[in-house]
Amino acid sequence: MSTEKTVFNVDGMTCAHCEASVNEEIGEVPGVTGVNADHTTGNVEVIGSGFTREQIAEAVAEAGYTLT
């Protein structure tokens, strides 16, 4: 499988701590090799392969936020 970058929008991030929480939870999803959350835009770049939108949504929810 090739590695791809996918951008998701997350609602509710307001600070660097929010970014860290989202990065940590998404980083634990199998197939994810890199994560970069940005609270100023609400975007999260996810790098990897073999993961689903549902897995990312669950990870974001675990961090206390909502994938939009």
Q: Which pLDDT belongs to residue 40? A: 97
Q: Which pLDDT belongs to residue 2? A: 80
- Whole-structure pTM value: 0.94
pLDDT in tens, 3-24: 999 999 999 999 999 999 999 9
pLDDT in tens, 24-67: 999 999 999 999 999 999 999 999 999 999 999 999 999 999 99
Q: Are 32 and 47 in contact (CB under 8 A)?
A: yes
Q: Which pLDDT belongs to residue 1? A: 60
